[in-house]
A and B are shown apart, each in its own frame.
Chain A
């Protein structure tokens, strides 16, 4: 049981490049989400999903797209990276009935030059 996995661990992009951050969970959780963490600002919700085919925006969705084609996977896409998207990105998952107990992945550290 791997829990929540994220790839890559580190990534450097140039402004304007696109990329996809991968997230997968093997706990059959309905709920999955993406957060970004910036110094002194805690974690801020980007997008979330309550099940396959259902996604919604969080607090800071601009510049990011998501889709949920399977229960296990929830990729985050940056269509045109900007320096303001330099951050650490965390994926999390939980059962809908126990959403307070979210399991976080190890994070992806992204630097946009």
Chain B
């Protein structure tokens, strides 16, 4: 199956700093998704990207669909303590098709924010 590689694996930052993380694949994706998982809870969708080059924002979060269609980036500006959690990228398991929700997830980026 498809594999997604996220980096960095973990980040320790001070409140107010900006954060950048990325996700890469060896295959082309036609959809990129970013989820956040708060401690002890299930993941929640943050941003969905459907077009190469697309740049989408959700409050302090901005995500981009890479031009090569093999990568995506997530940026968080002016981090706050509630940004703590695990951030996952995800995409269709068969990369290019309508797989009715068969998602492949990256291994996650663990974010810690120090007040």
Binding site for B on A (CB under 8 A): 4, 31, 33, 35, 40-45, 48, 50, 58-59, 90, 92, 94, 96, 99-102, 104-107
Contacts and interface: CB of A to CB of B under 8 A. Distances in A.
B62 interface: no
Given A42-B88, A42-B108, A43-B105, A96 B44 contact: no
B50 to A, nearest CB: 8
A40 B103 CA distance: 17
Contacts of B45: 100-102
Contact of B101 (A33, A40, A105, A107): A33
Contact of A107 (B1, B9, B41, B103): B41
Given A42-B106, A45-B93, A94 B42 contact: no
> Which of A35, A40, A42, A106 has the most CB atoms of chain B within a 10 A radius of its CB?
A42
- Most chain A CB within 10 A, of B33, B42, B45, B88, is at B42
Interface residues of B, number: 25
Given A40-B107, A107-B40, 14 more contacts: A31-B100, A40-B108, A42-B4, A48-B100, A50-B100, A90-B42, A92-B42, A92-B101, A94-B101, A99-B99, A99-B103, A100-B45, A100-B101, A101-B48
Contacts of B93: 45, 58-59
8 contacts: A35-B105, A40-B108, A42-B107, A45-B103, A59-B104, A100-B48, A104-B44, A106-B41
Classify the secondary structure of B's interface with A. loop
Contacts of A94: 101
B112 interface: no
